[in-house]
């Protein structure tokens, strides 16, 4: 699906990345896909759903389409990858949104054409790093975290039933962890013809780490445990394996996919 590690340079900052996926301990096949495109500094995690054939197909179409669409955009007259001095003027968020929308249509169309793939869909969490700016596009409950010094912050908001219940004050975050509804998502890419995509941008600082993961990791580890492992793993390239190992020690209930991206001066 992709290379598992690499590094790319921008005019002021270097970006180092590593990614890994694992079937976990309970599933017999892996429906997750991930992408590391070092040239675009594009990183994507997709967690597919829809059965043995459907889930893996949906997540694979998602990462391939997003990569293809952003490469096409870069070659166009309105190249979104041209540097801008501030987040507000950046064109990458809209290009990311469009790429995820195109992935949605591609997955939906494939499902219409093959009854074995009926009802398939996927989460998507994607990141583009450009100079000191980081842009995300997001659908579903796969997550993006920012780790900056002593801070870990979830950047994405879960499109899930339990998150809606938390926001409505019906359950606590602690109760959500044990809810039987925790795997129900309220938005996915490809289940319907169109989807609403959340996009956001942040200014990055040297030593920032962005972590993208499927819920197979997020459901098994506390944020502070993720933070500790990222900070205290001697070799950055080993971080995904360390996180996956811990999730599997906890039971490995689902497929587990992790990408870590560090911005270096």
pLDDT tens track, the chain, 265 positions:
544 556 654 456 899 999 999 999 999 999 999 999 999 999 999 999 987 689 999 999 999 999 999 999 999 999 999 988 889 999 999 999 999 999 999 999 999 999 999 999 999 999 999 999 999 999 999 999 999 999 999 999 999 999 999 999 999 999 998 899 988 999 999 999 999 999 999 999 999 999 999 999 999 999 999 999 999 999 999 999 999 999 999 999 999 999 999 999 8
Residue 10: the pLDDT is 46
The owner of tokens 């044990």 is: 178
Give DSSP secondary structure letters for 97-129. HHHHHHHHHHHHHHHHH-GGGTT-EE-EEEEEE
Q: Where are the alpha helices (DSSP H) in the chain?
A: 51-75, 92-113, 161-167, 173-177, 215-218, 223-232, 239-249
Q: How many CB atoms lie within 10 A of CB 112?
A: 11
Closest by CA to 82, choosing from 17, 148, 28, 10, is 10
* Ranges of each domain in the chain: 14-264
Residues in the chain: 265
Contact, 45 vs 259, CB < 8 A?
yes
Longest CA–CA separation in the chain, Å = 50
Residue 93 burial (C-beta neighbours within 10 Å; 0-12, 13-18, 19+): buried
Tell me how far CA of residue 206 lies from CA of 16, 130, 133, 158, in angstroms.
11, 13, 11, 27
The per-residue pLDDT for 9 is 45
254 conformational bin, left if phi > 0, alpha if psi -120 to 50, beta if neither: beta
Phi, psi of 154 (to 5 degrees): -75, 120
pLDDT score, position 5: 58
Angle at 82 between CA 77 and CA 83, to 5 degrees: 160
Q: Provide the token pair at 43.
A: 């990183």
What is the structure's pLDDT at 8? Answer: 55
Among 3.40.50.150, 3.90.1150.10, 2.40.10.10, 3.60.40.10, what is the CATH number of 14-264?
3.60.40.10
Give one word for 169, left, alpha or beta, with left for phi > 0 and alpha for psi -120 to 50: left
What six digits make up the tokens of 194? Answer: 């169109």
> Is the pTM value of this prediction over 0.85?
yes
């Amino acid at each position: 699906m992709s290379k598992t590690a690499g590094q790319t340079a921008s005019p002021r900052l270097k970006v180092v990345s590593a990614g890994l996926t694992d079937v976990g301990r309970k599933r017999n096949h892996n429906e997750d896909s991930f992408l590391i495109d070092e040239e675009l500094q594009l990183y994507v995690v997709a967690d597919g759903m829809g059965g043995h054939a459907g889930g893996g197909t949906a997540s694979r179409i998602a990462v391939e389409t997003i990569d293809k669409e952003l490469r096409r955009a870069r070659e166009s007259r309105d190249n979104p990858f041209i540097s801008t001095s501030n987040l507000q003027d950046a064109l990458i968020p809209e290009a990311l949104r469009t790429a995820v929308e195109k992935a949605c249509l591609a997955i939906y169309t494939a499902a219409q054409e093959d009854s074995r793939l009926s009802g398939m869909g996927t989460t998507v969490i994607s990141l583009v790093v450009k100079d000191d700016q980081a842009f995300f596009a997001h659908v579903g409950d796969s997550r993006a975290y920012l780790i900056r010094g002593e801070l870990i912050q979830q950047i994405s908001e879960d499109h899930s039933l339990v998150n809606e219940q938390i926001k409505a004050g019906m359950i606590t975050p602690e109760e959500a962890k044990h809810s039987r509804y925790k795997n129900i998502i309220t938005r996915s890419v490809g289940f319907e013809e169109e989807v609403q995509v959340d996009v956001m941008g942040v200014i990055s600082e040297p030593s920032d780490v962005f972590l993208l993961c499927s819920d197979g990791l997020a459901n098994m580890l506390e944020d502070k445990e993720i933070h500790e492992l990222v900070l205290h793993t001697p070799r950055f390239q080993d971080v995904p394996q360390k996180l996956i190992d811990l999730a599997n020690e906890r039971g490995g209930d689902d497929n587990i996919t992790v990408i870590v991206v560090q911005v270096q001066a």
